[in-house]
C-alpha cells in the first residue's frame, strides 16, 4: 500500500503521462518441466496476487504499451502478444477506491478512475524471463497453472478468459515456438498441448495431426543417451509456422 505522499506523487505523474481510463492487463504464459506457468505479482502487504499490467502513455500505440509493460516485468523484447478481450465492469476500481478511501479523495486518486482494461496474453521462453516486480509489488514470480493463488480485482476473470482464448487458438493456429526450446521431442510437444488443454491426448493421433500441419522439421539423428529407444528431435519450420499463424488450420483437439 502506498503512503499518502507516494499516492499523490504517482497520481500527479499519471495524469501528466498516461491516457485516462485505459489500462492493460497481461497474462504471461511459460512452459517448464511439463507444466504451464503464469507470471504473477504480489503487492506489498497483500496476500492476494495480480497479473502484470500498466497504463498507456498519451502518444503511445496500444500494442507498444503492452510490449513496454512486459519488457519491464520480464526483460524480454519481441514477445508474442495476442489481444483477446476488453474488460470494462464499472466496479473494477472498487478495490483501489476502498484501499485508499482514508488516504486520498477519489477525485485525486488515479486508481479510483474507471479503467477499461485491454487484455493481452503472451507466450514466452521460460528461461529467458527475469521476473521484475513493479513499484507496487514485493514479488514477481511464476506460478503453476494448476496451483493458482487467489487474485485481486477482476484478474481471475481476465486469467480464465485468456486461457480460454489460448485454447481456442490451439484449435486454429500453431502454438509452441515461443514456449518450447529450439529442439524438442514429440512427447515434450504433446505435454505442452496437454498442459494447455488440461486433458490427455492420444499419442498416435497427436503425432499424426501435428505432423500433418507441416510446421515441424525432424532431425536426421535421434536424441543420444537414455536406456530406451532414443526419440527423434524436432524443430519448428518457421516459414510454415508463420504461414499457419496467418492462414490458420482446421480442426480441434
Looking at residues 65-89, what average pLDDT do you find? Answer: 94
Which tens digit of pLDDT belongs to each residue from 195-239? 999 999 999 999 999 999 999 999 887 766 655 677 889 999 999
Highest mean pLDDT among 105-109, 172-176, 192-196: 192-196
Indicate whether 94 pLDDT > 70. Answer: no
Indicate whether 185 pLDDT > 90. Answer: yes
φ, ψ of residue 145 to 5 degrees: the values are -60, -35
Q: What is the rounded distance in angstroms from the CA atom of residue 191 to the CA atom of residue 249?
A: 21
CATH classification of 4-168, choosing from 3.40.640.10, 3.30.2270.10, 3.40.50.10320, 3.90.79.10? 3.90.79.10
Position 180 scores a pLDDT of 93
Say which CATH topology domain 182-247 has: Arc Repressor Mutant, subunit A (1.10.10)
Q: What is the rounded distance in angstroms from the CA atom of residue 110 to the CA atom of residue 87?
A: 18
The domain ranges of the chain are 4-168, 182-247
User: Which residues lie across from 42 on neighbouring strands?
Assistant: 139
What is this structure's pTM?
0.90
Q: What is the rounded distance in angstroms from the CA atom of residue 171 to the CA atom of residue 250?
A: 7
Higher pLDDT pick, 64 / 136: 64
CA 219 to chain centre: 30
Report the interhelical angle of 155-172 vs 186-197 (nearest 10°): 130
Indicate whether 93 pLDDT > 80. Answer: no
Cβ atoms within 10 A of the Cβ of 52, count? 27
Position 225 scores a pLDDT of 62
Position 228 scores a pLDDT of 65
Position 230 scores a pLDDT of 76
Strands in 169-248 per DSSP E: 184-185, 216-222, 232-236
Amino acid at each position: 500500500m502506498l503512503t499518502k505522499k507516494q499516492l499523490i506523487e504517482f497520481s500527479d505523474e499519471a495524469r501528466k503521462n498516461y491516457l485516462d481510463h485505459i489500462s492493460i492487463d497481461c497474462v504471461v504464459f511459460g512452459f517448464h518441466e511439463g507444466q504451464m506457468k503464469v507470471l504473477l505479482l504480489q503487492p506489498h502487504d497483500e496476500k492476494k496476487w495480480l497479473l502484470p499490467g500498466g497504463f498507456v502513455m498519451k502518444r503511445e500505440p496500444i500494442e507498444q504499451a503492452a510490449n513496454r509493460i512486459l519488457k519491464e516485468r520480464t526483460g524480454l523484447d519481441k514477445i508474442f502478444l495476442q489481444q483477446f478481450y476488453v474488460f470494462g465492469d464499472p466496479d473494477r476500481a472498487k478495490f483501489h477506491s476502498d484501499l485508499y478511501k482514508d488516504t486520498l479523495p477519489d477525485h485525486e486518486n488515479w486508481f479510483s478512475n474507471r479503467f477499461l482494461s485491454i487484455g493481452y496474453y503472451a507466450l514466452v521462453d521460460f528461461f529467458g524471463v527475469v521476473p521484475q516486480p513493479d513499484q507496487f509489488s514485493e514479488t514477481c514470480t511464476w506460478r503453476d497453472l494448476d496451483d493458482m493463488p487467489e487474485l485481486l480485482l477482476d484478474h481471475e476473470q481476465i486469467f480464465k478468459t485468456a486461457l480460454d482464448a489460448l485454447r481456442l487458438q490451439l484449435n486454429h493456429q500453431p502454438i509452441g515456438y515461443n514456449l518450447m526450446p529450439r529442439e524438442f521431442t514429440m512427447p515434450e510437444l504433446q505435454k505442452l498441448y496437454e498442459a494447455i488443454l488440461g486433458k490427455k491426448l492420444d499419442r498416435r493421433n497427436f503425432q499424426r495431426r501435428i505432423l500433418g500441419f507441416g510446421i515441424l522439421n525432424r532431425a536426421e539423428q535421434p536424441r543420444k543417451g537414455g536406456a530406451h529407444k532414443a526419440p527423434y528431435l524436432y524443430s519448428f519450420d518457421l516459414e510454415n509456422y508463420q504461414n499457419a499463424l496467418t492462414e490458420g488450420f482446421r480442426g480441434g483437439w
